[in-house]
Amino acid sequence: MNLSNCRGCGKLQLQQAHVLCADCFKLHLEQSNQIKTFLRMHPGASVIDLARETGLSLSQVNELVGR
């Protein structure tokens, strides 16, 4: 049995293919959906607009949009 820490919260978990625990993975999906929804309604939005309107930090937005 191999253990690892979640990259999101640091919680100890059984080592899986995912690097995030179930809670952090769910949060990641919710944040991704927030960004997708906002971009569908505002296709020319900047990263700063995304952060301001979704309440996420710039680093979170950059990570989620792949920058």
Per residue in 21-57, pLDDT tens? 989 999 999 999 999 999 999 999 999 999 999 999 9
State mean pLDDT over 17-24. 85
pTM of the model: 0.78
pLDDT, residue 38, reads 94
Mean pLDDT of 5-30: 87
Tell me if 18 sits within 8 A of 6, measured CB to CB: no
Overall average pLDDT of the 8-24 stretch: 85
Residue 6, SS3?
A: coil
